[in-house]
A and B are shown apart, each in its own frame.
Chain A
């Protein structure tokens, strides 16, 4: 009994300690928040938040940058383009990363908060439409793809495949890829309501790689041997999502990736943005699986 009591006391103390530690940590972040606006130039640490598509790239850039500048710190988190831009509007981060352009309502919200979002293109990305390797289909026209995603085509037979029901997979609405795909492919239509919604790209790859009925869309950087990327035809012939086709714009689903900053970048933020745009930074872009911007 006494022993039990002791264990409980120790456990309780531990929990209480952890809670206070937690409070302490958030407290620190908060106290850094407001000071961020004015002396941004002297600040030796910056925060990036936003697109999960940009995340692997931003992380690689931050790591390399910190190896070269050991006294400076760059922290990167994901969550989705919308999350990053909201954080920028609230003044919580120095750079919001995004895989889509900022929306007008977001610009308005930013202006209302005294934030002036400035856009920098850092790389290009391609979206590949993927299916299970067992599925014999190799290419789709844009109209077919739109039909599959808006609900008017539901069987693989209608697009040159076997007689199987199509299982359509989409990302959740916090993904920049979701918005981009909706805009480019659905062109004003809604996603079919019975589409599966996956909270992460990994979920899409997982389901497509084990389900011969499935179709999904992912960033080209996430392509691996477990899924098959389709060639797409937007009216100018069928194009595979190869780096060449994405860079020269022949592949229809390619897009830019952005950094958004409050005003023109300055201080460490400028240093980091310049690093990403430099030759070293852009060679990292290729390494991660995206496509460098043309200088």
Chain B
């Protein structure tokens, strides 16, 4: 008896320390990220960093303005969401409500495969196929634009949005569905008046998580968006090259002398990125919890 308890306790504590390790790693990452980015503000003020319009990290009068990078990330992510949300929700509705179960079962693995394609492969595809296509379609000086990045990111965010929305739609109680049909509503009316509103919080969570995925993407964007650190105009800027926060870190981390202001500026960009994704995930979590409460 004692032996068995002992064994249980051992297993328990091993599992505990493994999960604790995750938390410790996260804390350490935060610690180093924040510590190194705070060092930037010895040289540049926080306000200059957050509202600066120019990113000239290696010039004599160096300037570390976040705005071009921030808006670059924003416009690409917004474009990706506009592209991925209608497609993703439509696919989710089709798979969970309309498609024959056999068709749905056949479709799902393909969505999972889409999620498993490495981002550099997406980037390569974008560079070779989509960049010339965008350039010729819109008759632009170059096809490496925010739009190209948005489309690629949209495709990459699709699996997240489809899978989570589909979960939300499937977990709408069938009693509600049958009630609606029994009252004489058509299948389509049931879908857009009953099922989608009931699953809305879950779908919103899916959109937020898709957004989190999009804003953190690096390799694909670095390959197809042209990496031009200027503030994009709105809405025409969608057809101009942009540079995202992630691509900036990836592009410049290689050269930067350790401990220099530029080095700390890249960490500060990383902190901003981390804060944004953290907030997005937090919001997604809050929405998801609300939705559970509602359905019960």
Interface flag for A206 (CB, 8 Å): yes
Binds B, one of A3-11, A123-131, A167-175, A286-294: A167-175
Do A165 and B141 touch across chains, with their CB atoms under 8 A apart? yes
Interface flag for A221 (CB, 8 Å): no
A197 to B240 alpha-carbon distance, docked (Å): 13
Do B142 and A197 touch across chains, with their CB atoms under 8 A apart? no
Interface string of A198-232 (1 = CB under 8 A from B): 11000100110011011000000000000000000
A2 to B54 alpha-carbon distance, docked (Å): 58
Do A196 and B227 touch across chains, with their CB atoms under 8 A apart? yes
A211 to B56 alpha-carbon distance, docked (Å): 27
Known: A197-B243, A206-B127. A211 touches B254 (CB 8 A): no
A194 to B230 alpha-carbon distance, docked (Å): 6
A163 surroundings in chain B (CB, below 8 A): none
Interface flag for A157 (CB, 8 Å): no
B132 surroundings in chain A (CB, below 8 A): 210
Q: Identify the closest chain B residue to A202 (Cβ).
A: B127
- Residue in contact with B258 in the complex, picked from A80, A86, A172, CB distance below 8 Å: A86
A165 surroundings in chain B (CB, below 8 A): 141
Do A80 and B255 touch across chains, with their CB atoms under 8 A apart? yes
Interface flag for A22 (CB, 8 Å): no
Interface flag for A134 (CB, 8 Å): no
On chain A, the number of residues with a Cβ less than 8 Å from chain B's Cβ atoms is 33
Interface flag for B250 (CB, 8 Å): yes
B135 surroundings in chain A (CB, below 8 A): 211
Known: A193-B228, A194-B241, A198-B227. A83 touches B254 (CB 8 A): yes
Interface flag for B57 (CB, 8 Å): yes
Q: How many A-B residue pairs have CB under 8 A?
A: 87
A86 surroundings in chain B (CB, below 8 A): 257-258
Do B143 and A203 touch across chains, with their CB atoms under 8 A apart? no
Interface string of A73-102 (1 = CB under 8 A from B): 000000111110010000000000000000
- Residue in contact with B142 in the complex, picked from A173, A175, A188, A213, CB distance below 8 Å: A213
Do A197 and B257 touch across chains, with their CB atoms under 8 A apart? no
Known: A172-B251, A203-B223. A214 touches B142 (CB 8 A): yes
Do B251 and A207 touch across chains, with their CB atoms under 8 A apart? no
Do A105 and B257 touch across chains, with their CB atoms under 8 A apart? yes
Interface flag for A106 (CB, 8 Å): yes
Interface flag for A40 (CB, 8 Å): no
Interface flag for A195 (CB, 8 Å): yes
Do B143 and A211 touch across chains, with their CB atoms under 8 A apart? yes
Interface flag for A190 (CB, 8 Å): yes
A166 surroundings in chain B (CB, below 8 A): 141
A83 to B56 alpha-carbon distance, docked (Å): 20
A109 to B256 alpha-carbon distance, docked (Å): 13
Q: How far is the CB of B260 from chain A (nearest CB, A)?
A: 8
Interface flag for A164 (CB, 8 Å): yes
Q: How far is the CB of B128 from chain A (nearest CB, A)?
A: 8
A80 to B256 alpha-carbon distance, docked (Å): 10
Do B226 and A173 touch across chains, with their CB atoms under 8 A apart? no
A97 to B120 alpha-carbon distance, docked (Å): 27
Q: How far is the CB of A278 from chain B (nearest CB, A)?
A: 31
Interface flag for B59 (CB, 8 Å): yes
Q: Apart from A172-B251, A213-B142, list 13 A-B contacts with CB within 8 A.
A: A80-B255, A83-B254, A164-B141, A166-B141, A174-B251, A174-B255, A196-B227, A196-B241, A197-B229, A197-B243, A197-B251, A199-B223, A199-B227
Question: Which B residues lie at the A interface, using CB under 8 A?
Answer: 54, 56-60, 127-128, 131-132, 135, 141-144, 222-223, 226-230, 240-241, 243, 250-258, 260
What are 15 residue pairs bridging A and B, where the CB atoms are less than 8 Å apart in the complex?
A82-B254, A82-B256, A173-B57, A174-B255, A175-B255, A190-B59, A196-B241, A197-B228, A197-B251, A199-B222, A199-B223, A199-B227, A210-B131, A211-B142, A214-B142
